[in-house]
Amino acid sequence: MPHPQSLLIVDDCREDRKIYRRYLTKDPRHSYTIAEAQSAELGLELYQHSPSDVVLLDFCLPDMSGLEFLDRLAEQSQQRPLPVIMLTGQGDEAIAVQAIKRGAQDYLVKGNLNRDSLQLAVRSVLRQSTLHHQLNQTLERQRLIAMTALQIRRSLELEEILRTATLQVQNLVGCDRVLVYQFAEDYSGTVVAESVASGWTSTLGLTIQDTYFQQYQGRVYCEGDECTIPSVANASLSPCYRNLLKQFEVQAHLVVPLLLNATEQEPSKLWGLLIAHQCSCDREWQPDEIDLFRQLSVQLAIAIQQAELLAQTKLALEKQKELNVFKSQIIATVSHEYRTPLTSILAAASTLKHYHDRLEAPKRDRFLQLIEQKARQMSSLVDDMLLVQELELDRSQFKPIPIDLLQFFADLLEEQQAIAGETHQIIYRISSNPKGFWGDRGLLRQIFNNLMSNAVKYSPHGGKIEFQLMSSDLQVYFSVKDQGIGIPLEERSHIFQSFSRASNVETLPGSGLGLAITKACVELHSGSITLESQEGQGTTFIVTLPLTSGR
């Protein structure tokens, strides 16, 4: 039997009230709790104390007319239209029109009244009231959703969006905790935003590894204690998640997915979950609450997608700016670094062309040697630029093999000493003998040669250059220390960027690519490079590599 409907009979005739009661108690479709009032004032008092679902109102009352009653009832009632059926002893169309205008939903003549007509009239009023109530609820829900969506979308920063969303949803749903859970690629995930009532433990930052979402690749909808997954009926939540509910004293919870809309490139994506927790008591989620929660999750998903698109756009713009700067640096570097050797080549070639017969053989050889040297310098710059591009596009092939580092560095140091000449003294210090090292010989040679050539170049007055080799059970360390010009403190953070050169290099040649190449080669070994420097006293670069990188 449905829940009883409340009904108020306002009529000064006891017999009439008795007839109405008898008719309505025999209604097979509804049951009623019936209150009676023999005067308008008493009827208004009863309705104000406990509004009824339906009012049967006699037009002629001892203390006021039915139309006056309707006016008074309209003043104290928020319900429109009024749930009133007007009853009169005589059929009068004028009265009927006035009653309907003042809010009554029906008008019945007592002389024509029978059980069926009264039951049908009351049912009609109940149905209209129910529809009107549902419409009001829908309109109110849409208003709340629109207001909440406006609050959520005021910011385009994801962190602020999530923080606002959890607070707004908690206020609307009226629960103890609302949280946003974001999935990782393997469908483990983390609580990234939360609004929690005072007295309850926060779950912010909590990571859950063991979930059943991994098994179904995000094709999931959760509600209450069960997850509904396409083709998998009533799949239960993971034991890990159930234990968490107990840990945080959750008596009832509601979970809906945050699905980002599909695009031409990708299908719909399960970004995360919007979750409500009731901790203070058990709670049965009502259909309108669940529907509200779902609609709010849609608005939040839209805001998340917009924030992510904005972030991607900003990232693309930043990359474009970096690319434009990179192109400008290439042009500036090529213009500067090519001009000097090219000028020397042109001058030497012109001299040879015009004065070849007058020049002695040693002078001709010096001019030819100058042309060759400057051409190699230009070729080296091109090679460096191509290598930087190759490393940045990740096209470089990392090919690790076993390397005897003691012999490898000894051979390279001998080459560097020959290049450095007598102005620089290269010292080789060995603190340990690393065994079992795997690395790429070409990339390792690039790292060593760049660091050593820089040490020589930026120590223009000569001095000692120390190369030290160390190792541990898992790593290899080597350092290059010079006594040169050093690097200003404020410029060290970007010294490994392409085309970056310290401001104190003055006329010393260089493209600003060497350290960028070095860092990229170190990172291909899964290693790291750091520096220590003091302006005017020298610089030390320390390279750390895994013992078996890439094996």
Give the pLDDT score at 331.
Answer: 63
476 pLDDT more than 70: yes
Token couple for 396: 């470089």
The predicted pLDDT at position 17 comes to 92
Q: What angle do CA 450, 321, 261 make, to 5 degrees?
A: 120
| 58-75: average pLDDT | 90
Ramachandran bin of 249, using left for φ above 0, alpha for ψ from -120 to 50, beta for the remaining angles: left
Q: In terms of residues, how long is the chain?
A: 551
What is the per-residue pLDDT for 346? 84
Q: Give the integer Cα–Cα distance in Å for 304 and 320.
A: 24
pLDDT at position 266:
61
Which residues, other chains included, contact 246 with Cβ-Cβ below 8 Å and sequence gap of 6+?
none
pLDDT at 55: 93
Residue 2 has pLDDT above 70, yes or no: no
For residue 127, with 0-12 CB atoms within 10 Å meaning exposed, 13-18 middle and 19 or more buried, which class applies?
exposed
d(C-alpha 81, C-alpha 74), whole Å = 9
Q: What pLDDT was estimated at residue 551?
A: 57
Pairing of strands 84-88, 54-58: parallel
Burial 233-263 (b: 16+ CB within 10 A, else e): eebebbeebeebbeebebebbbbbbbbbeee
The predicted-structure confidence for 192-245, as pLDDT tens digits, reads as follows 999 999 989 998 988 877 554 444 444 444 444 444 433 333 334 566 667 777
**Nearest residue to 110 via CA among 7, 6, 11:** 11
With beta carbons less than 8 A apart as the criterion, state whether 305 and 260 touch.
yes
Chain-centre distance of CA 267, in angstroms? 18
Quick one: which H or E segment has residue 270? strand 269-278
Of 222 and 21, which is predicted with more confidence?
21
pLDDT band at 1 (very low <50, low <70, confident <90, very high): very low
| Edge-to-edge strand list for the sheet holding 54-58 | 32-37, 5-10, 54-58, 84-88, 106-109
Angle between helices 405-420 and 441-457 (to 10 degrees): 30
Structure confidence at residue 116 (pLDDT)? 92
432 CA to centre of own chain: 47
User: Strand pairing of 177-183 and 84-88?
Assistant: unpaired
Give the whole-number percent of the chain exceeding pLDDT 90: 22
DSSP state letters, 141-181 = HHHHHHHHHHHHTT---HHHHHHHHHHHHHHHHT-SEEEEE
Q: Are 480 and 429 in contact (CB under 8 A)?
A: no
Residue 85: CB partners within 8 Å, gap ≥ 6?
54, 55, 56, 57, 104, 105, 106, 107, 108, 121, 122, 125
What is the secondary structure of 82-104 as a DSSP string?
--EEEEESS--HHHHHHHHHTT-
- Per-residue pLDDT at 237: 55
Contact predicate 28/55, CB 8 Å: no
* Average pLDDT, integer, range 319-333: 69
Between vectors from CA 549 to CA 543 and to CA 551, what angle results, nearest 5°?
160
pLDDT above 70 as % of the chain:
81
32-37 and 5-10: which strand pairing? parallel
Residue pair 219/230 in contact (Cβ under 8 Å)? The answer is yes
Please report the pLDDT score of residue 35 as a whole number.
Answer: 93
Cα separation, 38 vs 11, whole angstroms: 5
Instruction: Look at residue 295 and give its three-state secondary structure.
Output: helix
The SS3 call for residue 212 is coil
H/E stretch holding 349 reads: helix 287-355
In 300-408, DSSP assigns E strands to 401-402
Q: How many angstroms separate the CA atoms of 515 and 499, rounded?
A: 9
Q: 183: which strand partners?
A: 189
Q: Write out pLDDT tens, residues 401-442.
A: 999 999 999 988 888 888 877 888 889 988 888 888 999 888
3-state SS, residue 398 = coil
- Does residue 71 contact residue 27 with C-beta atoms inside 8 Å? no
Provide the token pair at 317.
């713009």
User: What's the rounded Cα separation, in Å, for the pair 67 and 96?
Assistant: 10
CA distance 497 to 391: 13
Average pLDDT over residues 453-467: 88
* pLDDT tens, position by position, 73-105: 888 876 667 899 999 887 678 888 888 888 888
User: What is the predicted pLDDT for the residue at 396?
Assistant: 55
At 30, is the secondary structure helix, strand, or coil? Answer: coil
Name residue 65's beta-bridge partners: 60
pLDDT of residue 9: 94
Quote the CA–CA distance of 275 and 180 in Å, as a whole number. Answer: 6
pLDDT attached to residue 212:
47
* Torsion of Cα atoms, 414 then 415 then 417 then 419, to 10°: 170
Tokens of 377: 């310098």
CA–CA separation, 471 and 433 (whole Å):
7
Average pLDDT over residues 468-493: 89
User: Are the CB atoms for 195 and 166 separated by under 8 Å?
Assistant: yes
- Residue with the larger pLDDT of the pair 333 and 68: 68
pLDDT computed for residue 263 by the predictor = 55
* pLDDT score recorded for residue 257: 85
| Residue keyed to tokens 């410029």 | 491
**495-529 pLDDT tens trace:** 887 667 777 777 676 667 778 888 888 988 889 99
Half-sphere exposure of 501 (CA within 13 A, CB side): 18
What is the residue-averaged pLDDT of the chain?
A: 81
Average pLDDT in the 453-472 region? 88
pLDDT digits (tens, 9 = 90+) for 354-400: 887 888 888 888 888 888 877 876 776 676 666 666 665 554 567 88
Predicted confidence (pLDDT) per residue in 118-131, tens digit? 999 999 998 888 88
One-letter amino acid identity for 480?
V
Residues 132, 56 contacting (CB under 8 angstroms): no
CB atoms within 10 A of CB 119: 17
- CB 467, CB 454: distance < 8 Å: no
